[in-house]
Amino acid sequence: MTELKRLPTLPGVHLRNEIAKISHRLIELNHDRRLDKNVWDKVELARHPERPYTLDYIHHMFPGFIELRGDRCFADDPAIIGGLAAYMGRTIMVIGHQKGRDLAARARRNFGMPRPEGYRKAQRLMNLANKFGIPVLTLIDTAGAYPGVAAEERGQAAAISQSLLCMARLDVPTVAVIIGEGGSGGALALALADRVIMLENAIYSVISPESCAAILWKDAEEAHLAAQTLRLTSANLSELGAVDAVLPEPRGGAHRDHAAAASIIKQALEENLRELEAMHPQARKRQRLEKFRQMGVWSEGGLTLF
Amino acid sequence: MTELKRLPTLPGVHLRNEIAKISHRLIELNHDRRLDKNVWDKVELARHPERPYTLDYIHHMFPGFIELRGDRCFADDPAIIGGLAAYMGRTIMVIGHQKGRDLAARARRNFGMPRPEGYRKAQRLMNLANKFGIPVLTLIDTAGAYPGVAAEERGQAAAISQSLLCMARLDVPTVAVIIGEGGSGGALALALADRVIMLENAIYSVISPESCAAILWKDAEEAHLAAQTLRLTSANLSELGAVDAVLPEPRGGAHRDHAAAASIIKQALEENLRELEAMHPQARKRQRLEKFRQMGVWSEGGLTLF
Amino acid sequence: MAQKVSVDISRRNGDTGFRGAESCPACKQLLSTEELEANYKVCPHCNYHFRIGAAERVAQLADRGTWNEIAASLRSADPLRFFDLRPYPDRIEEAEYDTGLPEAMIAGTCRIHKMDTVLAVMDFGFMGGSMGSVVGEKFWRAVDAAIETRYPLVVVCASGGARMQEGIISLLQMAKTTCAVEMLGEAAVPFVSVLTDPTTGGVMASFATLADVVIAEPGSLLCFSGPRVIEQTIKEKLPADFGRAEKNLDHGQIDMIVSRPELKDRLVQVLGMLEGGVACAIGPLWEEEKSSPGRRGALAEAIDRIKALANPSRRSPKK
Amino acid sequence: MAQKVSVDISRRNGDTGFRGAESCPACKQLLSTEELEANYKVCPHCNYHFRIGAAERVAQLADRGTWNEIAASLRSADPLRFFDLRPYPDRIEEAEYDTGLPEAMIAGTCRIHKMDTVLAVMDFGFMGGSMGSVVGEKFWRAVDAAIETRYPLVVVCASGGARMQEGIISLLQMAKTTCAVEMLGEAAVPFVSVLTDPTTGGVMASFATLADVVIAEPGSLLCFSGPRVIEQTIKEKLPADFGRAEKNLDHGQIDMIVSRPELKDRLVQVLGMLEGGVACAIGPLWEEEKSSPGRRGALAEAIDRIKALANPSRRSPKK
Ligand SMILES: [Zn+2]
Ligand SMILES: [Zn+2]
């Protein structure tokens, strides 16, 4: 299935309908109203307090990392970290959510929930990378953008939309890796990338299972059912075509072996950059826009399209 | 003198040295240590409470003006006004400082002293104009950028420098008119234009005469002398090559007849846009950068250059 | 591709559509339906803006008889086979019945005071104006139409955010619509958004705030996180003016607030201004006519010449 | 155009240069000159950074024997024939005598840990590091050199702002240096600024804050309006940490704070990173070799090939 998707799309040959049919069959086969304990396990793994965070991956992957700070406007938001790193003979820009490991770090980093300044810093760094032809790697791990009055007043919505537009616009290759919690718009703001990759035990969802249960089931206790219904695991998302690839984690989960998890991401980054860097910047951008255009399932004149 | 400067510079023909010589002779002739009452009169005229402000010019020149607000980041700064106007069959973007006519307006507009949000709004509007090929007119009238702790914390310096860079970068024609007080960096931030024009009774200075006197003469009472020494009148600045043209005001000063002052600016705008719009955008930008490169007087190997 | 709009307003029975009389939620004055409709569903006593549906909005903005709907046959699928207390298709069917609309957005070409425009309008009555695949695809097609025809794009927003029932696919509509905005920007076609009560969540954090000019209706709630979510986080009651258009104006997030009776006029003014740039039109002219003199020609003459040369290529459809 | 630097440090007698011993203004410890110089003029007890002059800075950053000064013969003129309590030329002469420098900025090419660089350094001891025509022109020539050689530009800032004695011409140096930054940006040559105590006014509001990466020294005062001006406006005493580098870092205005002993290493790391982009180098490669295969080649191979092809044209001088 993933292989089918990975085939280069030749002009005039459209595999999308084939994929859609198979995809739907898979969904039907997989679909089960009974609670699948595995799904909630994934949610817990994705939020595991010892799971590697952005700084852990930076530590293992990029020893010479140079952090760059500030949005040049209002503040430096520690919930998003960004900077330059040397990687396989070239520079890359690494940007990611950082939840904070201990209590003090969590408070300082606002549990990885960015305020508008975080997204504006990310945009500044992505534009800097673009100026010098530096590819961008984003590491995504947030429960969501911070829901606070001051954050709203400083334009949380515009900060996210502009971050999306910034990523749509870049001429350089972009790779996003969902390493833990991919929570709603606050995660997507860093994930409009040429390649969106997900760790096996990460989750990526439009809303947290708890909030979804509270709204739709009127009962937060139904979070397990909501998680299953939202189809937020890496396997689900790969089936839905929402992510380009899923990376296996070390046995037991990434938290068992940070170094091994980092090395898995590093290899995937290498492969993806190899492909992306060989493309013309304009072609790469077209492909990115076209990829996101394909996101959606609807019927038109009776035909369901995917 | 001004005509000499206005001659198109042909490749290989450099008039700068000639201009420098004449200019210096003029300066010597004009220079006088005795107090010239006319200079302080100009300072007072430039700050006259009934002098037309940006909104008055907009009222007389652009009846269909549509104000656009906000920096999309932190606030809308009423000390700078900006928006779209119809002008001679095309659209222009008008941006200017607004001091406020009565007490309430002055408080709201902070006496025309912008905070960083004002400059960021200006940049947003200039970039919008650039996207749609809309020429930019700036009207300059401020004692300076607001010196406050919060304004500093939100990056007053970067807001000004980025405004300058934004104006250096524009592909569209830009005309700046100093209509009243051209106070320091807060004024210059909107004046890096293809054409910088000054009203006869406006002033334009690196520092207010009062502050200059306090620092250099250790005596704020010497403001009149400082004003004269700073050479901040339109005649002085024209001689120094700091502005491209000086516009005569209605008899007694612009405050005597707002409509007539507006019509004088309108005509100058027409002439300047006519020339600027006939140029290729790239050539126009080159000419702009080159013009500001020429700003400066120094000696090199014994030769004084201007 | 284009067809006449087939919205049946009589079926609507949301909070905005019932007949007879109702009292203004703001000033409590009793208002007759005729009075209210004559005033664009705005309270004549206190300027309270009642929520209105997409069809009514189109009727208010488009010149009579000029609306040509595009992508009218798009319908939501159920990619997740989503089932909470009720299956997703049931909710869609109910929304269709309530609103008379096929989805939370309708799009079409029309004229606004004789100006050709691509217009897309959201309807809060259709599942809270939530954005799923169909909204995303309609937005993309509206952008496509705007690029092809060179008509400016106007989008009237009203949305509670992403449509949860489409899971990650609804989240990705934020990315999809943003990519469309980028294409529109590349083509330098003007884009104006009108934010109405409420515009929140994923719509607010994607195309709604990416327009060249952002207009809001008075009193509308405009935010990313809704008041209830924030109240749960900070355990405090928010003031009534939280996230309202007026606050957003002060905080620099929108360009202007326009009352509904003035909206049509104001839209045409803004679009006309955005279309009226001259300098960019010089670009191609210069490429072709580099040796052209005329540097000293009269302004009006030059402008006319430039416009005559430049505009046909800007305005005429590609095909 | 290039010549050896002719700075005579022995004449300097500003607050940073006298011989013997001095006490740290921060922790009051008595420090010998040898101790202080061995530690880059940083207090080993409390990390207080003493102000240093431009020549000393060059000595700290440039590899020994690699400094080639550019625009060394530029001297200030007196366009306004400025005379306050003393004539402007007198003040310049005194500053020349005090600092051993011809102006408030020196510029040159040099190597920093073997990396070719264009380096410009300001000296607060020369009329408060104020920016007049010569500083502006030297900055422009440094930018010109950086564009021509493709060496990155490093500017160490220390300035009280514009040089009042040159009136409007000093103000316009903000515009002039900004135009230079724009040219440098067009050429995509990296630019790093180092802000030292104090960097304020017109320098802070032009090139200092326009660098690709902005580094600051600990404790340095960085602001547009100085504390005294603000205190006069608000009639209140400001806290001691107003405008300091650490505050600026929290407020998002600078990228990092680097202690002086680490500065040279850090500069090379940052410059190396900014020079290490690959993707932009692909641009011209693709223009010439559009049909080239190699999409599946090994990464290292591809990178090497790309770099080999792309870098010579990026790094070699134009002429
Ligand atoms: Zn009412
Ligand atoms: Zn000490």
Q: Is residue B152 part of a domain?
A: yes
Residues, CB within 5 angstroms of ligand 1 (ion): C 24, 26-27, 43, 45-46, 48
> Residue type for D40, please?
Y
Q: Is residue A84 part of a domain?
A: yes
Give the separation between CA D254 and CA D216, rounded to whole angstroms: 7
Q: What is the pLDDT of residue D310?
A: 41
> Which residues span the domain enclosing C174?
51-260
Q: Are D108 and D161 members of one domain?
A: yes
Q: Do A185 and C171 touch (CB under 8 A)?
A: yes
* C-alpha distances out from residue C209 to C181, C223, D169, Å: 11, 10, 41
Q: Is residue D16 part of a domain?
A: no
B107 pLDDT tier (thresholds 50, 70, 90): very high
Cα of C27 to ligand 1 centre, how many Å? Answer: 4
The 10s digit of each residue's pLDDT in B27-86 is 445 555 577 889 999 999 999 999 999 999 999 999 889 999 999 999 999 999 999 999
Query: Is A211 an 8 Å CB contact of chain B?
Result: no
Cα of D218 to ligand 2 centre, how many Å? Answer: 13
Give the residue, A166 or B15, on which the prediction is more confident. Answer: A166
Q: What is the pLDDT of residue D277?
A: 63
Q: Are D65 and D44 members of one domain?
A: no
| Assigned token pair, C217 | 């209706």
Q: Are C99 and C191 members of one domain?
A: yes
Q: Are D37 and D176 members of one domain?
A: no
Q: Residue C254: which CATH number?
A: 3.90.226.10
φ and ψ at D107, to 5 degrees?
Answer: -135, 150
Subunits with at least 3 CB pairs below 8 A relative to chain C?
A: A, B
Q: Are C185 and C97 members of one domain?
A: yes
Q: Using CB atoms, pick whichever of B89, B135, B172 lies closest to residue C300.
A: B89
Q: What number of C-beta contacts closer than 8 Å exist between A and B?
A: 24
The 10s digit of each residue's pLDDT in D119-174 is 999 999 999 999 999 999 999 999 999 999 999 999 999 999 999 999 999 999 99
- Across residues A277-286, what is the average pLDDT? 95
B89 pLDDT tier (thresholds 50, 70, 90): confident
Q: Is residue D299 part of a domain?
A: no
Domain end point (choices D260, D284, D307): D260
Q: Is residue C190 part of a domain?
A: yes
Q: Are C109 and C244 members of one domain?
A: yes
Q: Is residue A115 part of a domain?
A: yes
Q: Is residue C283 part of a domain?
A: no
Bond into D198 cis (ω within 30):
yes
Q: What is the pLDDT of residue A2?
A: 42
Q: Is residue C77 part of a domain?
A: yes
Q: Do C222 and A232 touch (CB under 8 A)?
A: no
Q: What is the pLDDT of residue C234?
A: 84
Query: Is D179 an 8 Å CB contact of chain B?
Result: yes
What's the number of domains chain D is made of? 2
Q: What is the pLDDT of residue D235?
A: 87
Number of DSSP helices (H) and strands (E) in chain A, helices first: 14, 10
Q: Using CB atoms, pick whichever of A74, A171, A172 lies closest to residue D251.
A: A74
**Contacts of residue B98, Cβ cutoff 8 Å, sequence gap at least 6:** B53, B54, B55, B78, B79, B80, B81, B109, B112, B141
Query: Is B169 an 8 Å CB contact of chain A?
Result: no
Cα of D49 to ligand 2 centre, how many Å? Answer: 8
In order, the DSSP letters of D20-75 are: SEEE-TTT--EEEHHHHHHTTTB-TTT--B----HHHHHHHHSPTT--EEESTTEE
Q: Are D40 and D88 members of one domain?
A: no
Residue D316 has pLDDT above 60, yes or no: no
Q: Are C89 and C118 members of one domain?
A: yes
Instruction: Give the D window 85-104 contacts with B, CB below 8 Å.
Output: 85
Q: Is residue A33 part of a domain?
A: no
C210 pLDDT tier (thresholds 50, 70, 90): very high
Q: Are D44 and D153 members of one domain?
A: no
Domain end point (choices D260, D280, D312): D260
Cα of C198 to ligand 1 centre, how many Å? Answer: 18
Q: What is the pLDDT of residue C186?
A: 96
B90 pLDDT tier (thresholds 50, 70, 90): confident
Nearest CA in chain C to B73: C252
C214-228, D76-90, D212-226: the lowest-pLDDT one: D76-90
- Across residues C297-312, what is the average pLDDT? 42
Q: Is residue C274 part of a domain?
A: no
The 10s digit of each residue's pLDDT in B222-278 is 999 999 999 999 999 999 999 999 999 999 999 999 999 999 999 999 999 999 999
Residue C243 has pLDDT above 90, yes or no: yes
Query: In chain C, what percentage of residues exceed pLDDT 90?
Result: 75
Residue C285 has pLDDT above 50, yes or no: no
Q: Are D105 and D182 members of one domain?
A: yes
Q: What is the pLDDT of residue A165?
A: 98
C198-228: burial string, b at 16+ Cβ within 10 Å, e else = bbbbbbbbbbbbbbbbbbbbbbbbbbbbbbe
Q: Is residue C304 part of a domain?
A: no
Q: Is residue A40 part of a domain?
A: no
Query: Is B72 an 8 Å CB contact of chain A?
Result: yes
Q: Residue B238: which CATH number?
A: 3.90.226.10
Most A CBs within 10 Å: which of B72, B77, B124, as the mutation test of the A interface?
Answer: B72
B303 pLDDT tier (thresholds 50, 70, 90): low
Q: Are C228 and C98 members of one domain?
A: yes
Domain end point (choices C260, C281, C304): C260
**ipTM for this model:** 0.88
C291 pLDDT tier (thresholds 50, 70, 90): very low
Q: Is residue A22 part of a domain?
A: no
| Residues of chain C neighbouring B88 (CB-CB closer than 8 A) | 299-300, 303
In order, the DSSP letters of C115-182 are: EEEEEEEE-TTTGGG-B-HHHHHHHHHHHHHHHHH---EEEEEEE-SB-GGGHHHHHHHHHHHHHHHH
> Residue type for C63, please?
D
What's the pTM value of the predicted model, to 2 decimals?
0.88
Residue C308 has pLDDT above 50, yes or no: no
> Which residues span the domain enclosing B160?
48-292
Q: What is the pLDDT of residue B302?
A: 63
Q: Is residue B38 part of a domain?
A: no
Q: What is the pLDDT of residue A304?
A: 58
Instruction: Give the B window 156-185 contacts with D, CB below 8 Å.
Output: 156-158, 160-162, 164-165, 168-169, 184-185
- Across residues A28-41, what is the average pLDDT? 72
| Assigned token pair, C182 | 């980028």
Give the residue, D306 or D242, on which the prediction is more confident. Answer: D242
D19 pLDDT tier (thresholds 50, 70, 90): low
Determine A/C contact with 3+ CB pairs under 8 A as the test: yes
Task: Give the pairing type, strands B203-205 and B136-142.
Answer: unpaired
Q: Are D89 and D238 members of one domain?
A: yes
Q: Do A72 and B158 touch (CB under 8 A)?
A: yes
Give the residue, B45 or A303, on which the prediction is more confident. Answer: B45
Q: Is residue C9 part of a domain?
A: no
What's the number of domains chain B is made of? 1
Q: What is the pLDDT of residue D71?
A: 95
Q: Is residue B223 part of a domain?
A: yes
